[in-house]
Structure 1
Amino acid sequence: MNLRFLETFVWVARLKSFRLTAEKLFTTQASVSSRIAALESELDVRLFIRDSKGVSLTPAGLTVLDHAERMLEVQRALRQSLDDDARLQQGYLRLGAMDTVIHTWLSPLVARLMERYPAVEIELTADTARNLCDLLQKGYLDVVFQTDFIRHETVRNLSLARYPMRWIAARGSLYDRDYASLEDLAKERIITFSKQSRPHQDVLNLLHAHGIAAPRVNCVNSASAITRLVQDGFGIGALPPALVARALASGELVLLGLDSGLPPLEAVASWRTGVGLELVERVVEIARAVVAEQAGEAGAGYLLPADEPA
């Protein structure tokens, strides 16, 4: 039995799409269809149902999936026993990250990966947490660093870090003053991340809990744009200090004295499970080590490893 055909079958079952499987395996959709047809002919069963809703497994397909995954796991174990780390030295890795990660510890992570796996081609995608989750589930990315756990049977999640959130303003601006309460601060313009993002929801929930109606909350997709707007005195930023550490150190921006009341912003690694994803597992472990190092350098007010109490 051709193990490449079995691998193709497993990815179609995971992604529920012949097209996405072809992109994942760097082949054509016709080739994927041919492999599935050959496997069905060899086993004398129909493996998939294709209709207007997409692709789904037949009862026979569910049975074959269980055995196929075990056979591929045996193959993986055999290869690993013969050549553990060398096999991971080549390949293609697609990373996705939200802005906060890109502006804090993504560069040290990529540098570590390039040093450890110099022959691995790394492709980076910057996007919102919501879009990154969607791209991962569609098979366009291998691992993403964003804010939320993805609840899906084929996806694993690991909380890596937490960013404390503070109210931040430009030094000397009309917003650089003492605030008696959250209600007092909420009279001003607030700038935070994109609509429906975790920080945006947390800001709205906090204001709602204090009975503040119709707050002036401005949502911006780019971390660089948020920083620039706050520096230019457009409003008060609801931000992790780690994102603007240099501007705070230079005195361009200041932390307002009022406790933000906002929960920390989480950074979560999410990746697909299954055979053939050993490199991704290693990447997540390296990311956890890099975050711990960066947190030690930055300090608790800027970055905390996920397993460290606030």
Structure 2
Amino acid sequence: MNTRFLETLIVLARVGSFRETAEALHVTQTAVSQRIANLEDDLDLHLLDRSSRQLKLTVHGEQVVEQARKILHLEKSIRMLARNDQPSAGPVHVGVVETVVKTWLSQLIQDITAEFPLISLAVTVDTSRNLQDLFTQKKIDLMIQDMPFLPAIGSTDYMVCGVCDYPLAWVSSPALAQGKPSFDLSSLADLRVLTFSRFSLPHANLQTFLADRGLEEVKIENFPSVESILQLLQNSYGVAAIPPAFILKELQEGSLVLQDWPTPLPISMSLFARRSATKAVHEVFQHARRSCHVAAQSVNQRAGQEWILAHDPA
């Protein structure tokens, strides 16, 4: 169905004259008549009451005009969405690991809300492994996580960008070292070492770190929740090699302390999205690096050292 025919019928119903309709649409009266005739043929309906001397719509004609207005309004909305100069809009489903939640997710949400009010963020927090499954199933549009995503390697179908690194530090409660004449890395043999989920990259890096130092027998306990690790640390349950970036409050209060020991490799966070994604997803992808950079500056200033190494957002 040609939308020009619908537009012609709407104008004709409004002005009540073939001549005025032709003037309004900058076409001939013959063209107006032909469009109405074609529309009647397409619908197999009489839209005009031709028994009346004055132009009058039939009942079907009035009903078609009502629906035609809705169709043209919808067409206009679709065309506006397709225009590149229109504001980015629509939902963006973002998957993040908890480390991002603890450090700069709120900055990203605030920045997107302020700059792109028509974008709505839906956030899923999970392990990197589970986020990759959700991303593969297209249940999330963008993921921020710390493991390689194999389908993206050597592929031009994905946008991939490193966003920041989190140096690690050994953390414990101050009470854990009390009464121990020597509290150093060798003490791990007598302690529980807390870390992230078993299939995470930080867990694998920790295993390699311990093996390289002959500490393969150290007891490692896995927890998918950062909050669980922090609670157990404060209860002197064990020690953990975690980013100090998200324990500023606990360090200031003295409920947790840092140990000056060698540490495993930092946690590296990356962004992943499909190149075929919507404009809104592209905007969030590009803005995430800037949000991380802003949040990192704030954390590092408060800490007095670089606990989040944000990549250049330019």
TM-score by length of 2: 0.67
For 2:275, the aligned partner's letter is T
d(CA) in 1 for partners of 2:167, 2:136 = 28
SS at the partner of 2:247?
A: helix
Correspondence list, 1:128-277, <5 A: 128-152=127-151, 153=155, 154-174=157-177, 181-260=184-263, 262-274=264-276, 276-277=277-278
What is the CA distance between 1:114 and its match in structure 2? 1.2
Show CA shifts across 1:177-235 (max 9, x none). 67565333343111010102111111101111112232111100101111111111110
d(CA) in 2 for partners of 1:200, 1:215 = 13
Residue number in structure 2 paired with 1:98: 97
d(CA) in 2 for partners of 1:298, 1:238 = 19
Correspondence list, 1:6-25, <5 A: none
Cα gap change, 1:118 to 1:82, in 2 (>3 Å): closer
Cα gap change, 1:245 to 1:179, in 2 (>3 Å): farther
d(CA) in 1 for partners of 2:149, 2:178 = 37
Residue number in structure 2 paired with 1:289: 290
Q: Is the 8 A contact 1:178 1:256 kept in 2?
A: no
**Segment drifting more, 241-250 vs 97-106:** 241-250
Residue number in structure 1 paired with 2:9: none
d(CA) in 2 for partners of 1:130, 1:257 = 31
Q: Is the 8 A contact 1:242 1:303 kept in 2?
A: yes
- Could you list the structure 1 runs, at least 4 aligned residues long, displaced by more than 6 angstroms after superposition: 78-81, 175-178
d(CA) in 2 for partners of 1:106, 1:85 = 26
Residue number in structure 2 paired with 1:113: 112
For 2:236, the aligned partner's letter is G
Q: Is the 8 A contact 1:169 1:175 kept in 2?
A: no
d(CA) in 1 for partners of 2:174, 2:92 = 42
Cα gap change, 1:122 to 1:178, in 2 (>3 Å): farther
d(CA) in 2 for partners of 1:227, 1:199 = 16
d(CA) in 2 for partners of 1:230, 1:126 = 22
Cα gap change, 1:289 to 1:237, in 2 (>3 Å): same
Structure having the higher Rg:
2
The reply to whether residue 302 of structure 1 matches residue 302 of structure 2 is no
For 1:100, the aligned partner's letter is T
What is the CA distance between 1:249 and its match in structure 2? 1.7
d(CA) in 2 for partners of 1:144, 1:175 = 42
Show CA shifts across 1:72-97 (max 9, x none). xxxxxx989954242x1x21110111
For 1:92, the aligned partner's letter is P
Q: Is the 8 A contact 1:195 1:219 kept in 2?
A: yes
Q: Is the 8 A contact 1:175 1:233 kept in 2?
A: no
d(CA) in 2 for partners of 1:199, 1:178 = 30
Show CA shifts across 1:1-56 (max 9, x none). xxxxxxxxxxxxxxxxxxxxxxxxxxxxxxxxxxxxxxxxxxxxxxxxxxxxxxxx
Cα gap change, 1:278 to 1:223, in 2 (>3 Å): same
Q: Is the 8 A contact 2:165 2:308 kept in 1?
A: yes
What is the CA distance between 1:237 and its match in structure 2? 1.4
Residue number in structure 2 paired with 1:126: 125
Show CA shifts across 1:78-125 (max 9, x none). 989954242x1x211101110100011001101111112223222110
Cα gap change, 1:296 to 1:131, in 2 (>3 Å): same
**Segment drifting more, 189-198 vs 116-125:** 116-125
TM-score by length of 1: 0.68
SS at the partner of 2:160?
A: strand
Q: Is the 8 A contact 2:173 2:256 kept in 1?
A: yes
Aligned residues: 227
Cα gap change, 1:183 to 1:122, in 2 (>3 Å): same
For 2:143, the aligned partner's letter is V
Cα gap change, 1:178 to 1:228, in 2 (>3 Å): farther
Gaps of 5+ in 1: 1-77
